[in-house]
Structure 1
């Protein structure tokens, strides 16, 4: 792909090389490559942006690294080659040794800038070995393999790279200086205390409407890139100690748990019958006692040969007994004069030693690991029951995040209001929907009500909410209207970092994600600005917010499950990838999942969410593919319970 227009480059061409044994075997495990691609995509609105034209994954092998880098420098003539991974102290970390012999010049200043930026965030950056150099007309960077480290390293020198590349290409660099002067008026640079974050500012909060931006300053990124960015900032919250009770449901263990008591803690009968000495065999025996599953009825007398004792299920086996015979294999021979007690019973069967007895610790012995770190306490209750059975009183779990819900808009009225709607007003359906999702998923949520389209009021409510929650979810005010104040308020009043402000998807294009540093060592706050249209808000909550909440809570699998289903309707495609609301059911006759559209999918139509349990992941429309026929198989994100039976008439009811 050429980057020349009328003899001048229109962008800086970039190649990203992921170096990892693991990722070379499973490309889905590569997180650093997509993070870097997203970072360069954020420069798309510049006069001369960076554009990733080559990506590749190779194993930690000197020859493979050198071959790829040489090809991109000597044959593809890329402006910038970035390798991620293999820069540590590990035995297989060979990237610096592979790349350095290719340099014609070294760039020690860029290397120093990357190391310095990383050391300001963590002392462990000293264990990274980045190098930078020039080969021909190409600059080569090596950065760490962690997504966070890779992004931080490139961000540290991103502003100077255009100038560096121009100089390597034989230009004077004057155009870069001019561009940087312009950008200094358009970009927000946070102080060093919060880390050097480069972001593009929204329209001034208090400027005249005539000066508002006519195009969004935020690059359009893919859903996958947005998910990666959110995941990168959704770090597991600190562990806490909690009692073993029903409140554990939905929490994740932060450490292994071992049994403190054996189960059972005594020799227990499996069934109702008689404790016997197995060697006695069949015959008639006197009943000398009773053992019931109750401490007040324990028999402490040792059973002697020729004796038996009545016992109930779960009752302690008396000393001397070696087996239990079930009551069905016996006959009463003689009862007491009052007829209330058994005096002698005939045993009809031969049993072996240990028959029908649960020995001490046979289920669980002391010290056995009964629950492992990372295990989720499900609503089934089995995990809690196991801990209770072995005497565990409290456990260490990851703290579950608290999130807040906020609606914005002058036209939005609380749905519980008894007043008649005026022309131009709408009932708020977003907060009730998101609060319902919170209840269903078990996360603690705080309702911060509705805020009018007023910058000062919005700032006040956001600050109030952010002191009480880990994650804040607002709906509305994220598009390009003169009263869409969410983004500029975050930037200009709160000093938040906006990581993305547009996503290539339908519905939900203006979805916004930002972070705000925590105070006194607390984790950073996650802030989601979801669109105001109800279907958009609900879909983007399931795609971005719910996975973040799960990841913060320690879930190993934080994304919603994905199935494949066959379409029962023909569906037209959109220019953007679409998350189409649908109902999926399992058709036992066909042995497959079937998907039924919920009808018209306009983003304001809440009816498209009624009975919805899934989102169809539909590709963007192309000249070659403008619709999907009935019977096509698509990926489906499951967001609700599966229906047991098909509902082919659902669409007609909408």
Structure 2
């Protein structure tokens, strides 16, 4: 373990340490990005004073005789700007014996990818004695980003500064050093950014790409840096059938993750990961089933001397001695010959053993003011012990199995009410994945941008992103709008890295075909080090649909509180590897929506623990002739309805060109049409995948 120290330079924080947010931010970088190599041994806060800064650093660098207590790295945060009080670079520069301009350049290069105002920073880095010293910005976000930019290389620098033999460290060349650090230099297709921006709920650092030689050995995608003349003229990816593609998704989609959720209205849609048992009896007391009067039914002894309820007619005039409402309260103990007025759901008074309905009574007398009943005449036949009484635990008994693992909480099935009634406060469920949707393309503009007359030649309004966001939300999944990204390798790579920190599944549209600006596949494969499981499917529409996974490192947490999608957060962190799924769908609107329902939805449902994973399918009768594609099976957009005879019938939504967004309007099904030279005739039966409710022709 390498020892690190954090020095916060802030007069405000020195006066009130609770105002400092930099120390936890930097500790998080050492934990989540440091590959388990760092121990943050000390943290100190000082004012913006050169002498105080230098005193703290010298205690770590010059006053240490024991190698085990050597501080390998000192990072300072604060005082690097242009304010009069900003003196950190000057104070540190006086102590540095060997400047490290490369570290400074690395931090500035990473920061400039975030904001042009990074030019306002004045970082300093170098070596004193056997310790590396690096100054970071004062903002927690800026400090975190700067440290992330260089932390992979710092262990190597610290070992050299501590006195390790450089020849043995450098044996094997730069490639070995990069592999050991978990980084890569600029590949043949694009540069690599180390920034960690757009941090999402529960997610940590996205792993760096593997070495370039490893990528080149396994990559099937074209290298964008080689230009259009050397790109693939035919797709190098095998053509899979739809069934093969679905099997691939089933195999490589990440599995379920358990989490705790409170029992409330936000539980709808989640699937139980464990059986749930009642925490208490329902009802917890003997309660009246009707509005009426609680009475005492006399009992008599049978031949064995046991008390036995009589079956008798209650008649006569009885005094009303108490009232029992459903609201909390205590009723008077009821004696023989006394009755108590009672409302539905109210607890029976002590001594009472039956309830007579109000319909079987007559008011006999009132109090002097006429506001209350004094006596009531009862005319009820065959009254027994327990009549109109809901016994303790008669609805649900404590410890009884309420719901089983695998059951889904619905909005109409009463599951939330059942759990709440039985005193269940929290349940263990499968976390629902969060979906991010990203549109790609230089030609894509926001659908709200510009009036029709202001659209420039070639510009296209973004219809895919809002459509897919709505579709994911319809199926009950939380979404993140990832916006639009241009066809530029570095920009696309950084946007995907940001997205991998925010969501569990990324859905992109466009950029997956064979054009020179179709960069999704090479970016996933070459820059992110992801695995493309398939890049072509034998179907219409949606042939270039791509499915990939990327392994990332994230901060795992030891205690859970519900967040977006059911993830967890806590103050205790560790690092773990997780898999993110990426679906790169075609850019044509109809293709994107069809492939979302056919491929993305099953993956989301698998991750959420839902069964079945795919769309429900039914047999339907065609209402007219359907022309078939000669080469590929087609997923035809259609409307399925049911008539008075109970037969399901399917009607096409019209022209099925993949760019025709109107072909999805009103569609509630995808018809699985085989390839063939001849049309399917009216009355033929085919399988329909239902995307929505069946319409009624009644």
The interval holding the TM-score normalised by the smaller chain is 0.5 to 0.7
Number of aligned residue pairs: give it.
450
Judge conservation of contact 2:215–2:526 (CA < 8 Å) in 1.
no
Q: Normalization by structure 2: what TM-score?
A: 0.62
Larger Rg: 2
Residue 602 of structure 2 corresponds to residue 583 of structure 1: no
**Matched residue, 2:434:** 402
Which consecutive residues of structure 1, in runs of 5 or more, have no partner in the other structure? 1-189, 647-654
Task: Work out the CA distance in 1 between the residues paired with 2:392 and 2:293.
Answer: 19
Residue 322 of structure 2 corresponds to residue 289 of structure 1: yes
SS in 2 for 1:387: helix
Task: Work out the CA distance in 1 between the residues paired with 2:515 and 2:643.
Answer: 46
Task: Work out the CA distance in 2 between the residues paired with 1:378 and 1:453.
Answer: 42
Residue 289 of structure 2 corresponds to residue 270 of structure 1: yes
Deviation at 1:379, TM superposition (A): 1.8
The one of 223, 235, 249 equivalent to 1:204 is 223
Judge conservation of contact 1:504–1:577 (CA < 8 Å) in 2.
yes
Task: Work out the CA distance in 2 between the residues paired with 1:198 and 1:323.
Answer: 83
SS in 2 for 1:275: strand
**Matched residue, 2:28:** none
Task: Work out the CA distance in 1 between the residues paired with 2:215 and 2:399.
Answer: 49
Residue 603 of structure 2 corresponds to residue 548 of structure 1: yes
Task: Work out the CA distance in 1 between the residues paired with 2:676 and 2:692.
Answer: 27
Residue 385 of structure 2 corresponds to residue 353 of structure 1: yes
1:196–1:415 Cα change, 3 Å: closer
1:259–1:435 Cα change, 3 Å: same
Residue 361 of structure 2 corresponds to residue 305 of structure 1: no
Task: Work out the CA distance in 2 between the residues paired with 1:460 and 1:523.
Answer: 19
**Matched residue, 1:367:** 399
Deviation at 1:409, TM superposition (A): 1.0
1:373-410 residue CA offsets vs partner (Å, 9 max, x unmatched): 11111122611111111111111111111111111111
1:522–1:388 Cα change, 3 Å: farther
**Matched residue, 2:533:** 499
Residue 364 of structure 2 corresponds to residue 333 of structure 1: yes
Task: Work out the CA distance in 1 between the residues paired with 2:680 and 2:216.
Answer: 42
Equivalent residues in 2 for 1:451-530, closer than 5 Å: 451-519=485-553, 520-530=575-585
Residue 625 of structure 2 corresponds to residue 570 of structure 1: yes
Task: Work out the CA distance in 1 between the residues paired with 2:431 and 2:578.
Answer: 12
Task: Work out the CA distance in 2 between the residues paired with 1:244 and 1:380.
Answer: 15
1:144-195 residue CA offsets vs partner (Å, 9 max, x unmatched): xxxxxxxxxxxxxxxxxxxxxxxxxxxxxxxxxxxxxxxxxxxxxx979xx9
Judge conservation of contact 2:509–2:592 (CA < 8 Å) in 1.
yes
Task: Work out the CA distance in 2 between the residues paired with 1:482 and 1:234.
Answer: 29
1:310-340 residue CA offsets vs partner (Å, 9 max, x unmatched): 1100011112212111111111122222222
1:10-53 residue CA offsets vs partner (Å, 9 max, x unmatched): xxxxxxxxxxxxxxxxxxxxxxxxxxxxxxxxxxxxxxxxxxxx
Task: Work out the CA distance in 2 between the residues paired with 1:315 and 1:375.
Answer: 33
SS in 2 for 1:310: strand
Deviation at 1:504, TM superposition (A): 0.6
Equivalent residues in 2 for 1:87-166, closer than 5 Å: none
**Matched residue, 2:45:** none
Judge conservation of contact 1:237–1:552 (CA < 8 Å) in 2.
yes
Deviation at 1:498, TM superposition (A): 0.4
CA RMSD of aligned residues (A): 2.0
Judge conservation of contact 1:237–1:401 (CA < 8 Å) in 2.
no
1:196–1:551 Cα change, 3 Å: farther
Deviation at 1:208, TM superposition (A): 2.3
Task: Work out the CA distance in 2 between the residues paired with 1:282 and 1:619.
Answer: 76
Deviation at 1:267, TM superposition (A): 0.4
Deviation at 1:196, TM superposition (A): 12
Task: Work out the CA distance in 2 between the residues paired with 1:491 and 1:395.
Answer: 39
1:320-373 residue CA offsets vs partner (Å, 9 max, x unmatched): 212111111111122222222222222222222211110000000110111211
Residue 651 of structure 2 corresponds to residue 596 of structure 1: yes
Judge conservation of contact 2:254–2:580 (CA < 8 Å) in 1.
no
Task: Work out the CA distance in 1 between the residues paired with 2:412 and 2:666.
Answer: 24
Task: Work out the CA distance in 1 between the residues paired with 2:399 and 2:216.
Answer: 49
1:203–1:196 Cα change, 3 Å: closer
**Matched residue, 1:448:** 482
1:196–1:432 Cα change, 3 Å: closer
Judge conservation of contact 2:281–2:393 (CA < 8 Å) in 1.
yes
1:620–1:292 Cα change, 3 Å: same
SS in 2 for 1:634: strand
Judge conservation of contact 2:254–2:579 (CA < 8 Å) in 1.
no
Task: Work out the CA distance in 1 between the residues paired with 2:216 and 2:277.
Answer: 45
Point out the more displaced range, 498-507 or 392-401: 392-401
Judge conservation of contact 1:200–1:217 (CA < 8 Å) in 2.
no
**Matched residue, 2:696:** 644
Residue 457 of structure 2 corresponds to residue 438 of structure 1: no
Task: Work out the CA distance in 1 between the residues paired with 2:430 and 2:404.
Answer: 13
Task: Work out the CA distance in 1 between the residues paired with 2:423 and 2:216.
Answer: 50
SS in 2 for 1:628: coil
**Matched residue, 2:24:** none
1:593–1:531 Cα change, 3 Å: same
Task: Work out the CA distance in 2 between the residues paired with 1:541 and 1:331.
Answer: 67
Residue 450 of structure 2 corresponds to residue 418 of structure 1: yes
**Matched residue, 2:268:** 249
Judge conservation of contact 1:565–1:584 (CA < 8 Å) in 2.
yes
Judge conservation of contact 2:219–2:525 (CA < 8 Å) in 1.
no
Deviation at 1:197, TM superposition (A): 12
Judge conservation of contact 1:282–1:346 (CA < 8 Å) in 2.
no
Judge conservation of contact 2:512–2:586 (CA < 8 Å) in 1.
yes
Displacement over 3 Å in runs of 4+? 195-200
Residue 205 of structure 2 corresponds to residue 214 of structure 1: no
**Matched residue, 2:193:** none
Q: Normalization by structure 1: what TM-score?
A: 0.66
Residue 671 of structure 2 corresponds to residue 619 of structure 1: no
1:43-77 residue CA offsets vs partner (Å, 9 max, x unmatched): xxxxxxxxxxxxxxxxxxxxxxxxxxxxxxxxxxx
